[in-house]
Copies of this chain bind each other. A is one copy, B any other.
């Protein structure tokens, strides 16, 4: 038995890829476009970590994606949480829970999927501007 992937639905594939790849840093591993059924699947993974994937499902016809509390988040370990958050912010992603403690941050995908970022190993020393950034919304 092996973990394969977590699937999330997206309303706009380009917008989703801007978040998950250009922003968060995942890489596209595979893509299946099924025109007959009007959907596209895109499999993403952290560089060098292809065995645990995120599957984006884009149904070409609009649907209400909503959101619920039953699903919590997907989490990634990162080498430098400040660098990751700086890059995400430059990509226009809101830092809902900034890494004030040098250890943990939360952002949301365009469809409201929470993503937790955790500093690999010990927390980085707290420093500005991060230490003073307030929370924004929920995650």
Contact = CB atoms under 8 A, between A and B. Distances in A.
Contacts of A71: 8-9, 67-68, 70-71, 113
Interface stretch (A30-38, A43-51, A126-134): A43-51
Interface of A: 1-9, 25-26, 45-47, 49, 51-53, 55, 57, 63-79, 84, 111-113, 116, 118, 120
A69 to B, nearest CB: 5
Contacts of A75: 3-7, 55
Contacts of A76: 1-4
B70 A7 contact: no
18 contacts: A1-B46, A1-B49, A1-B76, A1-B77, A3-B45, A3-B74, A3-B76, A5-B75, A6-B72, A6-B73, A6-B75, A7-B116, A65-B70, A66-B69, A67-B68, A67-B71, A70-B111, A71-B71
Contacts of A1: 25-26, 46-47, 49, 76-79, 84
Nearest to A51: B52
A79 B71 CA distance: 27
